[in-house]
Structure 1
Amino acid sequence: MTTTKRTLEKKFRRYVTALIALIMLLITFVYIYLEREQARNLIGEQALTTALTVAEIPEVKQALIGTGDVDKVREMIDQIQRNAGAEYIVIGDGDGVRLTHPNREQIGQEMVGGDNDDALLYGRSYTSLAQGSLGEAVRGKTPIRAEDGSIIGVVSVGYMIEYINATFLKGFTVFASAILVIFLIGMVGSNALARSIRRDTFGLEPYQIARLYKERHAVIEAVSEGLLATDQDGRVTLLNALAKEVLQIDEQAIGQKIDQVLPDSEIAAVLQTEEATGQNEVIVNEDRLIIYYQIISEDGHYAGKVARFQNRTELQELVNALSEIQQYSKDLRAQTHEYTNKLYAISGYLQLGYYDEAIDFIEEETGTQSRDDRIVFEQIQDPTIQAILIGKRSKASEKKISFTLDPASTVEWQWPAEAAAPLVTIIGNVVDNAFDAVIGRDKPTVEVFLTDLGKELIVEVADNGSGIAESIQAQLFEQGTTTKSGQRGYGLALVKAALKELNGTLEIEHNQPSGTIMSLYIPKEQVGERSERNDSRR
């Protein structure tokens, strides 16, 4: 069984109509209550004022003490009653017996209602709501005092409830007309507002908008790129989990200015300008990022900008590993070519009869080769490090560089697969830098020592180059810093990023008598934590 969802326009119109009707109804109830109370109070005050006036008439006092003309007083009271619009004006003596009454048959009878005591006994003037002989009425009562101040009677001026209600209804008719006009205006306004909201939501219903929001959130969090968006004022409007992790910010950044969230950042500078778009490359928090900027437009006007970025450090490490493998292949071809030349030399020695020279040449080559092979394959257990050293040995041979391994080198622990790419980046770039440093020296030499006997892998690479000036050592690991002409200065920046992933450190010191020693310290116990961190990112 399928259910039909109400459209936003119908739902909005229905709810707003009900809300307006409820508000109007509540206002009406409050108005009725307040106005009726106010009408009763006003009529009561008018009745009391009339009673006070009657109580001061000398003829009334004389009639009560028996020295006045009672008929004349009755005619006068009738006239006052008509002028005041009262239903009745009753004068009673000290015992509450009527001296005047609109109904002459009631004269001489006791006043009813039970509300005369405050006036006759205590001398108070007041208003009351009581049931009289003519019906329920609002009455103003006051005592009549003789010249000596004694109470000789009471005046009761009454206005019937029907009269008060009729007075109230005259004002309520005008009020009801105004309420009806306001209600109709509210209906027209609610319809216009509903249509406006529908246009603003592109005709989508609330459940469709909710579904789109959920799908959008799921897609944003599922993408393997960091996403950061700002509005036309440079305030952050969107931020996914990967962006929070890479940029090291949290959910509180939403709604803040981008230059406050990422102060002194190239990303913030680009997101605050309309013109800058396209691809860019930066290093943020020691991570190399490739960022793509795209403008958000709304009706042809600038409405903000989106930055999507990828952490290229891991990808670059894989690229470097592939490059190293390709380089190994080239180095092996170079080594094959070199050994072919050496075989030709040995063949020439033998053909010329220089047997001793041939033997010496063979012993020198095989001795060096055997010693390095023994170190690499017997003392180095990690295959990644073995591959790096073999490749660099071949590369050194091609470049005519003396590349030696310290006989005391030993690596017994095999590193996990996720550490292979960072190791290639770290050791490979440091050794390549050492090769570049010794090019042009009389006897170019690079020495490598490795050990993991403690809790960390220690790699020392020493060269006899010209060394590194102290003035640039502090900036040596920043992207773009280099001591070589024509180079971009990415090598050591990548080494720093890869070391950060393995929680490693690097030290630089001067080599005697010339050159540089770079010492790498990579803790073995942190690799497992790095693996868990990478799994959480995925």
Structure 2
Amino acid sequence: MRFYSGQQRNKGHEGNRTGFSLAGQAFVLQLAVVALIVAAGAVLAVVDARHDSDAATAQEVVDVAVSLARSPGLVDAVRSADPTLRLQPVTEQIRRETGMDFIVVMAPDRTRYTHTDPDRIGQAFTGTIDRALAGQTFTETFTGTLGPSIRAVTPVYDGDTVVALVSAGVTRARIGDEVGAQLSSILAVAIAGLATAAGGSFLIGRRLRRQTHGLGPAELRAMYEHHDAVLHSVHEGLVVFDADGRADVVNDEARRLLDLPAGPVHRDDLPVSLRRTGSGEVRDETHVTEDRVLLVNQDVVTWAGRPIGTVMTIRDHTELRTVLGELDSVRNFAESLRAQAHEAANRLHTVVTMVELGRYREAVEFATAELELSQALVDRMLTAVGDPALAALLLGKVNQAAERSVELTVSDETALETVEPLSAHEGVTLVGNLVDNAIDAATGSADRWVEVTIGRHDEALEVRVTDSGPGMSAELFARAAERGYTTKSDHHGIGLALVHRVVSRHGGTIRTDRAPESAVVVTIPRKDQPE
């Protein structure tokens, strides 16, 4: 399995990309929504400003009209011989000071006494006055001589009699100008809001693009479908860890091989040896769990030049390891036969030479003595060890040890008809690895010997392998027997871990002694005995 950097993956997708990426579509959609909201907000702000301006103007014209109607001297001016002469200058001054577009003082019959346009003085007022004549002050929007305006009309009393009416107003054109002055501020705020929203949308889109690696919806959907199909169909365990050691992906085979429970998985949940792999690259490491022998590879996944996690693949080599163990036993047996054949050839030449020299009696004695020695070893091994696979293993190990100048003996206490409750494969694995470790340890000693004792004690299978080596402390032995890993191609390096797996499977015990000599003792109880 090969992993690519971010740039390489991007190049691979460029040819298939047929539209905006998911991040691009999200940016456009978000920007459109934000623009719509900002535009709607600006329109509402303009409408609200217009409404507020109308309300303020209505209140203002009411205040001006009522103040003028209640001012001292207005009644006297209205009842004078020439009301216009007395009122026109005053109303114009008030109009200019208050910002009104017109102030009209009129008789109850609508005749104007004052007007912004002097030519219209004396003409009839073009607006509603009925409610004012009834004593009410009111406002209205009316199109008069100056155009549409908001005006107020209020009565002028002399005692209980309405002697005149006052109307003050502001044209809608002026109100529009005032709203227009606010419109620039509203637009400025709207543009600033839109720019801020666009910037935020861009940042969100950029983050989304980084998280989705610039892929489009169709590509993400296809990737998910392929990803899901591969995870369920692949026959290798697959675990994908992020940079923090959390597993983003754990397929069914990985959970089965590693005995992982359902739910989230962290690197600390893996078997002990797999936790030690860290987040670096691993190539073809053999790890031994309680039930399986696993071949583990791990690759670092990078994106844009930085590591974003690791991908661990796991293959079950349990059956293969068993076959390799049996093959190793057969190979050792074949090597033993080869050595014996070579030795037999030398002995045969010796016998032939003795015959040619006329030493017939010595030749017969030499041949029968060697035959009796070999046959005695085979007969004794088959008598002491009833299991043929285990007997063949020990015979092969005797010759293998001899080639390394180590004397391997099977003690007189060995007496075993069957390796139950172990299977033949398990018996070969347990005894073979213990003997191999003992031969390795004895090779570096002065005496160079190994002794194997196999029998039953209190109905429990007991295997004791003693050697002339220095032995291991209990602490060192525990670390060596701990389920671990090796990068070696053969069984060496994981021997004690394989032994420990067999012992644990059957609820047995394994211990080491250093006195009076180095020894490893394994005890496997019967199945019907309490563990």
Query: What is the TM-score with the length of structure 1 in the denominator?
Result: 0.59
Partner of 1:461: 464
Conserved? CA contact 1:113–1:130, under 8 Å:
no
Residue 116 and residue 226 in structure 1: after superposition, are their counterparts in 2 closer, same or farther (change >3 A)?
A: farther
- Amino acid of the structure 2 residue aligned with 1:207: A
Note the C-alpha offset of 1:447.
0.8
Given candidates 78, 83, 88, the residue that maps to 1:75 is: 88
Aligned partners of 1:97 and 1:108 also within 8 Å: no
Return the alpha-carbon distance in structure 2 between the equivalents of residues 154 and 490 of structure 1.
Answer: 114
- Helix, strand or coil: the match of 1:57? coil
Amino acid of the structure 2 residue aligned with 1:448: I
1:28 lines up with 2:42 in the alignment: yes
Shift in Å, 1:429: 0.5
SS in 1 for 2:168: strand
Moved more, 391-400 or 160-169: 160-169
Corresponding residue number in structure 2 for 1:401 = 408
Which residue in the other structure is 1:448 paired with?
Answer: 454
Q: 2:328 aligns with which of 323, 326, 340?
A: 323
Letter in 1 for 2:333: Y
SS at match of 1:58: coil
Note the 1:213-292 alignment, pairs <5 A.
Answer: 214-215=225-226, 219=230, 222=234, 224=236, 226=238, 240-241=250-251, 267-268=277-278, 271=280, 279=283, 291=297
Q: 1:142 to 1:282 in 2, by over 3 A?
A: farther
Matched AA of 1:393: L
Secondary structure of the equivalent of 1:39? helix
Counterpart residue number, 2:519: 516
C-alpha deviation, 1:33, in angstroms:
2.0
Give the corresponding residue for 1:157: 168
Aligned-pair CA distance for 1:403: 1.9
Residue 111 of structure 1 pairs with residue 115 of structure 2: no
Q: Deviations over 1:414-462 (max 9, x none)?
A: 75xxx94x66443320133345566765985311136997xxx844224
Aligned partner letter, 1:211: A
- Is 1:507 matched up with 2:510? yes
**Aligned mates of 1:480, 1:467 — CA distance in 2:** 23
Aligned counterparts of 1:447 and 1:78: Cα–Cα separation in 2: 132
Structure-2 residue corresponding to 1:475: 479
- Which ranges in structure 1 are unaligned for 5 or more consecutive residues? 121-127, 272-276, 381-385, 482-486, 526-538
Q: How far did residue 198 of structure 1 move?
A: 10
8 Å CA contact 1:288–1:312 kept in 2: the answer is yes
1:428 maps to what in 2?
432
1:19 aligns with 2:33: yes
**Amino acid corresponding to residue 398 of structure 2 in structure 1:** A
Q: Deviations over 1:145-189 (max 9, x none)?
A: 999xxx999865333556534653575589679979999999999
1:21-73: CA deviation from partner (whole Å, max 9, x where unpaired): 52353133222222212321332343244236425632225558x68974456
Query: RMSD of the alignment, in Å?
Result: 6.6
Asked if the contact 1:334/1:394 (under 8 Å) is kept, the reply is: no
SS at match of 2:222: helix
- Give the 3 Å change call, closer, same or farther, for CA 325–92 of structure 1 in structure 2: farther
- Contact 1:239 1:251 survives alignment (8 Å): no
Amino acid at match of 1:168: V
Question: Which residue is 2:488 aligned to?
Answer: none
CA contact (8 A) 1:295 1:304 kept: yes
Amino acid at match of 1:323: D
CA drift at 1:321? 3.6
Contact 1:331 1:391 in 2 (8 A): no
What amino acid sits opposite 1:396 in the alignment? V
Verify the 8 A CA contact 2:26 2:205 in the aligned structure 1: yes
Where in structure 2 are the equivalents of 1:353-368 lying within 5 Å?
none
The answer as to 2:19 corresponding to 1:7 is: yes
Structure 1 segment 336-415 matched on structure 2, within 5 A:
352=361, 369=378, 372-373=381-382, 380=387, 386-396=388-398, 399=402, 400-403=407-410, 406-407=414-415, 409-411=417-419, 415=423
Residue 199 and residue 423 in structure 1: after superposition, are their counterparts in 2 closer, same or farther (change >3 A)? same
Contact between 1:140 and 1:157, CA under 8 Å: does it hold in 2? yes
Q: Give, in whole Å, the separation in 2 of the partners of 1:497 and 1:213.
A: 39
- Going from structure 1 to structure 2, the CA distance change for 1:8 and 1:168 (only over 3 Å counts) comes to same
Which piece of structure 1 moves more, 17-26 or 177-186? 177-186
Question: Mapping of 1:204-219 within 5 angstroms?
Answer: 205-212=216-223, 214-215=225-226, 219=230
- Could you tell me whether the CA contact under 8 Å between 1:55 and 1:144 is conserved in 2? yes
Partner SS, residue 43 of structure 1: helix
